[in-house]
């Protein structure tokens, strides 16, 4: 999947395309520079999944847990501040990642060796006009 998002109004369509392209996947990892839009993209994913909780970056908590009205859980990780994969293991990362629930991971390069065999890599790049190029592929 490759799509360019030129405004926030186009973001819902990009998220719909991501979800429909990878309907059976539950682990999505998000790569991009600071300020590229990873958290904004994840907020839209959660909105489309009818998450009832307030969605925010778990930069200091490392993980946020969100629910939708059907009782489905979405886990949102932000590993920007961790020093190594041991910290992810300490919070029970493997239990979350193999739970069968959606896991949305920012800064996955910090835990690359802990990622499951199958996941969707989402790369977000900002161009000089402020557009976001979103590239997703399954691993």
Q: pLDDT digits over 53-111, tens only?
A: 989 888 888 999 999 999 999 999 999 999 999 999 999 999 999 999 999 999 999 99
The answer to whether residues 38 and 32 touch, using CB atoms and an 8 Å cutoff, is yes
Q: 4 in helix, strand or coil?
A: strand
Concatenated DSSP letters of 16-80: HHHHHHSTT--EEEEE--TTSSHHHHHHHHHHHTT--SPP---TTTSEEEEE-TT--EEEEEE-T
- Classify 118 as helix, strand or coil: coil
pLDDT at 6: 96
CA 78 to chain centre: 9
Confidence band (pLDDT; 50, 70, 90) for 137? very high
The pLDDT value recorded for residue 60 is 80
Q: Measured between alpha carbons, how far is 97 from 114 in angstroms, rounded to an integer?
A: 9
Largest CA distance in the chain: 41
CATH number among 3.40.50.720, 3.30.590.10, 3.40.50.300, 3.50.50.60, domain 25-124: 3.40.50.300
Rounded to 10 degrees, the C-alpha dihedral 67/70/72/77 comes to: -30
Question: What's the confidence (pLDDT) of residue 59?
Answer: 80
Q: What is the pLDDT of residues 1-40, one digit of tens each?
A: 999 999 999 999 999 999 999 999 999 999 999 999 999 9
Inter-axis angle of helices 11-21 and 38-48, nearest 10: 70
The predicted structure's pLDDT at residue 61: 85
């Amino acid at each position: 999947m490759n799509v360019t998002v030129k405004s926030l109004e186009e973001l819902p369509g990009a998220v719909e395309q991501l979800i429909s392209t990878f309907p059976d996947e539950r682990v999505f990892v998000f790569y991009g520079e600071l300020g590229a839009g990873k958290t904004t993209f994840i907020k839209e994913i959660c909105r489309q999944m009818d998450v009832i909780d307030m969605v925010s970056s778990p930069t200091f908590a490392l993980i946020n847990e969100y629910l939708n009205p059907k009782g489905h859980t979405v886990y949102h990780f932000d590993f920007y501040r961790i020093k190594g994969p041991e910290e992810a293991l300490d919070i029970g990362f493997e239990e979350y990642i193999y739970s069968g629930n959606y896991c949305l991971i920012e800064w996955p390069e910090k835990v690359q060796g802990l990622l499951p065999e199958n996941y969707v890599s989402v790369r977000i790049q900002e161009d000089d006009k402020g557009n976001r190029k979103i590239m997703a592929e399954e691993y």
